[in-house]
Amino acid sequence: MALFIDTETSGLPDTRNLRWGVYPYYRDLEKYDGARIVQFSILITDTKFKYEDVKDYIIKREGFEIMNENFHGISNEISDTVGVDFNTVAVDIFYELLKKTTHIVAHNVGFDVGVIKSELHRRNLQFIIDELDKKTLLCTMKHMKPILKIINQYGNYKNPSLNEIYKYNFKTDVENAHNSLYDVYNLHKVVEHMYKNNTLKYDIDISNSKRQIKQDTQTKHETQQAV
């Protein structure tokens, strides 16, 4: 089983003095004070990326202000009124799903895993972090970079956005960007499409786990360094 994850946050982590693309260690909570989770979405698939279920939660804020409502549409009022306690989502939903899965898929997985771990650490939920650390992390941003071959201002391949990989496959822009529910739907659509046409060579069949772990080792190590 694979989990496609995405988060919307109150802002970005403090990455000063870090190289581009590297995120602070999750235990350095001050660095994540400006990047609190306000929406958490999880899409579940089987080992062939066939859709099974989706979970989506607005998170109730705890002691912070949401100043970027214009970005994701979640205001302080929405968070306070319909938000769910992060502990409930983490323990009752995310942890139970983690125990059943082998792979985590995200676009810029270092960011999402970093902010999730920081929220877990704030609440002393180390057992969930330990379970998360057992999983193979698949970053579509890194994996699709050499496939799309988009040149940046420095003449190098740039990290593609979710919209760019979506447009590469379907010749149209994504709709409802910066809503984590739609982002996991769109990311899954891309991965399933590229997996079926053999453009993206992910293989998460448990029977092939040794071969897959070898293929993904470098990606996981890079991501753990980033978070």
Asked, for residue 227, whether it belongs to a domain, the answer is no
Asked, for residue 38, whether it belongs to a domain, the answer is yes
CA distances from 104 to 44, 94, 109 (A): 10, 12, 8
Give dist(CA 161, CA 123) in Å, integer.
Answer: 31
- The pLDDT value recorded for residue 205 is 55
Do 3 and 51 meet the contact criterion of CB atoms below 8 Å apart? no
Asked, for residue 45, whether it belongs to a domain, the answer is yes
CATH number, residue 121: 3.30.420.10
Domain with 171, as residue range(s), is: 2-222
Asked, for residue 188, whether it belongs to a domain, the answer is yes
Number of domains in the chain: 1
Average pLDDT of the residues in 23-32: 97
- The pLDDT value recorded for residue 176 is 84
Give dist(CA 72, CA 55) in Å, integer.
Answer: 18
- The pLDDT value recorded for residue 216 is 39
pLDDT tens column, 43-69: 999 988 999 999 999 999 999 999 999
CA distances from 34 to 102, 115, 142 (A): 30, 10, 25
